[in-house]
Structure 1
Amino acid sequence: MLKGPQPDKHGVGDAIRSWWNGLARPMQWLFGVPVIALIAILPVWRPPILDTPGTDFGGVMAQFAMYALIAIGLNVVVGQAGLLDLGYVGFYAVGAYTVALLTSPNSPWNKMTESGFFSEDWAWLSCLPIAVAITAFTGLILGTPTLRLRGDYLAIVTLGFGEIVRLLADNLTDVTNGGQGLSQIAYPHLGETEDKPYGVFSAGNTGGNLNSGVWWFWVGMVMVIIALLLVGNLERSRVGRAWVAIREDEDAAEIMGVPTFKFKLWAFTIGASIGGLSGALYAGQVQFINPTGFNVINSMLFLCAVVIGGQGNKLGVIVGAFIIVYLPNRAMSIEIGGQSLGDYKYLFFGLALVVLMIFRPQGLFPARQKLLAYGRQIYQAVRRPSDAPGAGPAPSGARTEVGG
């Protein structure tokens, strides 16, 4: 028998996305700004349902902002362009060590001496563009010879890159101070008073609801918003459409005239620069780094945030980053058999990934590309009158679906 048009099946996430996309840009800002403001006051308000009894909630939110920035950058590489990068922690380390080498007194390249060219109060902010530029250049250098590889081969090369960066930081003791790390890294010297002689961004500012974690969370939020605007504009441009084509079928994209290598290199470089920015944020926040903070386990956690949130959905990966950071800290206060539940985070995330791959492999918030969504609207606009209820017999040659 002939089948009529089937009703569209949309979930709650699709309904929200359709409503949001239907709003004009000023209306999106009208709804978005209050939501951003509400998120910004969370570490100050500290609602009991979200607070983390085992650790400072402001510090947790600061870590979340840093992971959200990492997830956005990695999503460009993995979610948008479809390039499996297992060594993203290497770019994160390059950004962190760039700031540390330029500002730490333990570094031979310290430029905050009397003859240096960095102001002590603004050295961290001055190093941000340098860290981004050096990390982007590192991504360009790594991507040029390796992006002709695909799939597992590319994953192995990037995994090796992350380990090479960590081993160099551990063994170049004359430059990086080896395993002892680099301390007293620069941070913004703002809000210095008698009660806070080193300013609000100092790691020593641990008292009250407006501690250093809250201030770093606000700085991280600004960076996340800037990164979202940049990545969002790229997604809606020719570059974003090329990334989608490469991700879906690289051979078909190349046949259709898309310069795949160039756009893959674009994705790798942009993702690397955002990773360097997050590394610079981390260095200023903790004011001490050593090679152990840049191991392959952290790289897997970054990728886990993207997979759980939904590859290709920049807002979804932010939710994934929140899950990765918040849940272990929330579970720190829960003990089972004398052991903190937060210590089993790798076990829980591993099980969550297995379950997710079985029941929802596209992630919690899968991406729905507008380019593909418009195809449904075009079909509904040009479909034949015979598809409508009560229409006459289909004309000769018309295609119909035959049910069993």
Structure 2
Amino acid sequence: MKKNIIIIISLLIAYLSGQYLINTGIIDSYLQLNIFLIGINIILAVSLNLITGFTGQFSLGHAAFMSIGAYTSAILTAKMGLPFIVALIASGIVSAIAGVLIGIPTLRLKGDYLAIATLGFGEIVRILALNTDYIGGAIGFNDIPQYTNWTYVFIMTVVTVLVIRYFLNSFHGRACIAIREDEIAAEAMGVNLTLYKVFAFAIGAFFAGIAGSLYANYFYFIKPDSFGFMKSVDIVVTVVFGGMGSILGSIVGAIALSVISLFLQNIPELRMVIYSIILFLVMVYRPTGLVGKKDKEGKYFKGLRKEDFQHVSAKGN
């Protein structure tokens, strides 16, 4: 209880401090932009880590869910005039539904096959956006209302971290981690592999959609190429850089890479070279990431009972 109170007070102080610095102009628009991007990147990294780091399903299509959320929010706010909070929630729901629809057929695949399938899904979403005039096509979707502010970014970043942390601490979360460690053993315990993989995929997609909504309603303008393959790679790199299977690692990775990119913007001719060298050195000397530390195999099977999963298991898994 005492720990929770300290966390709540710390978050409240962080929020009020940020709001004060923005209102007084100490944090200018450029710095505010980068802070917002850090928040969005944290949401993306933590949500992908649930899928890849904790459940062990390698996805290269996370940017597609961000794209779905971004375009959903843009349509609802710019074309239909709905309140941003409605668009924000709807963006997450639509992305989660897309996650379920793509997850059911693809999550039976493993390894490289799953990566290729999710990569293909990402390209399908991008090409559909390119060829749909209603959302601007290749020209892009402009005149999106700027509703995203410090309050929305802060709250949604905190909510993402807390919800995924709570999920992982539940027996449902332990089931996902058990799948990552050993699918055969997890199935023997009664874990419905497909159900929990799709469940994790849907949660990750939901928060990626939220990130897309925040992005669209801050930058006024979005285009399909903003959510292409390289964006998915950037999210994967953030997760690996911070540490697979570590929420703190995703947060640290998102902050570190965003700050590195910020400082390297003044030397564009060397930016990608230095950026790549930093990533290489981290992977060589910290192969588990800045914070990541591989969990002991079998740790998450403790406390799992077969009867816990009987009400959610299905025959023919």
User: How would you bin the TM-score normalised by the shorter chain?
Assistant: 0.7 to 0.9
Pairwise CA RMSD of aligned residues? 2.6
Look up the SS of the partner of 1:288 in the other structure. Answer: coil
Aligned to 1:262: 195
Q: Cα offset for 1:153?
A: 0.3
- Cα distance change on mapping 1:41 and 1:148 into 2, 3 Å: same
1:156 to 116, 133, 155: 116
Q: Is the 8 A contact 2:241 2:283 kept in 1?
A: no
- Cα distance change on mapping 1:39 and 1:340 into 2, 3 Å: farther
Aligned to 2:174: 241
Aligned to 1:364: 290
| Correspondence 1:102 to 2:35 | no
Aligned to 2:88: 128
Q: Is the 8 A contact 1:52 1:329 kept in 2?
A: no
Q: Cα offset for 1:171?
A: 1.2
Instruction: Report sequence identity in percent.
Output: 33
1:183 to 142, 157, 169: 142
Aligned to 1:26: 2
Q: Cα offset for 1:351?
A: 3.2
- Cα distance change on mapping 1:350 and 1:155 into 2, 3 Å: farther
| Correspondence 1:305 to 2:238 | yes
Look up the SS of the partner of 1:182 in the other structure. Answer: coil
| TM-score computed with the length of structure 1 as normaliser | 0.68
Q: Is the 8 A contact 2:243 2:288 kept in 1?
A: yes
Alignment of 1:170-319 (within 5 A): 170-173=130-133, 175-188=134-147, 216-319=149-252
Alignment of 1:2-81 (within 5 A): 25-31=1-7, 33-34=9-10, 37-38=13-14, 41=17, 45=21, 56-81=30-55
Q: Distance in 1 between matches of 2:69 and 2:301?
A: 39
Q: Distance in 2 between matches of 1:358 and 1:255?
A: 36
Q: Is the 8 A contact 1:43 1:58 kept in 2?
A: no
Look up the SS of the partner of 1:289 in the other structure. Answer: coil
Look up the SS of the partner of 1:365 in the other structure. Answer: coil
Deviates more, 1:138-147 or 1:283-292: 283-292
- Point out where structure 1 has 5 or more consecutive residues left out of the alignment: 1-24, 105-109, 113-117, 189-200, 202-215, 376-404
Aligned to 1:328: 261
Alignment of 1:375-386 (within 5 A): none
Amino acid at match of 1:37: I
Q: Cα offset for 1:147?
A: 0.5
- Cα distance change on mapping 1:294 and 1:103 into 2, 3 Å: same
CA deviations over 1:52-76 (Å, ceiling 9, x no partner): 99x8211110111111111111111
- Cα distance change on mapping 1:52 and 1:157 into 2, 3 Å: farther
- Point out where structure 2 has 5 or more consecutive residues left out of the alignment: 303-317
- Cα distance change on mapping 1:330 and 1:354 into 2, 3 Å: closer
Larger radius of gyration: 1
Q: Distance in 1 between matches of 2:274 and 2:97?
A: 36
Look up the SS of the partner of 1:162 in the other structure. Answer: helix
Look up the SS of the partner of 1:262 in the other structure. Answer: helix
Q: Cα offset for 1:128?
A: 1.3
- Cα distance change on mapping 1:217 and 1:302 into 2, 3 Å: farther
Amino acid at match of 1:34: S
Aligned to 1:212: none
